[in-house]
Amino acid sequence: MDPERLIEKELARLNAHLPRAQISLAEALRSERPGVETRDGTFHSFGRDELSLLSRLLEEGMWGELRLPIIIWMSRGMGSGAAVIRGKPEVRVISALLGRPAEGSELVIYRPEVAVIRSRLPTTTQYAFTR
């Protein structure tokens, strides 16, 4: 098998847990069963306590813009232990959680920060693997 094809296949397998489509924080807060369907066909539920925390970290006017789950983009090209959060509302929420100023629509974070994020938001964040 072609090495490029093999890499793509492996990345698809690693990312099977990702949502088919994300939903907004506003939608999740209104839902009786907040969560998303994943690429592998399972349902991933969001914890109500996490949704409440997110709603406190972000002004209500942006609840419709914050996409859940928040994706933590892991890439070999970023270097060992580095990851990226993309999207203005996502950067605002993660920056607030980490006690950092929010700037722009992309935030580079490192392994210790990823650990903090995942410990506080285990159901409303997910890893995505890229090249």
- Please state the rounded mean pLDDT for residues 89-114: 96
pLDDT, tens digit (0-9, with 9 covering 90-100), for 36-67: 999 999 999 999 999 999 999 999 999 999 99
Task: Give the DSSP letter string of 36-88.
Answer: EEBTTS-EEEPPHHHHHHHHHHS-GGGTTT-EESEEEEEEGGG-TTEEEEESH
Contact call for residues 37 and 43 (beta carbons, < 8 A):
yes
Task: State the pLDDT at residue 12.
Answer: 85
Average pLDDT, the chain: 95
Query: Is the per-residue pLDDT at 131 higher than 90?
Result: no
Q: Which band of pLDDT confidence, cut at 50, 70 and 90, is reported for residue 103?
A: very high
pLDDT, tens digit (0-9, with 9 covering 90-100), for 65-76: 999 999 999 987
Residue ranges covered by each domain of the chain: 3-130
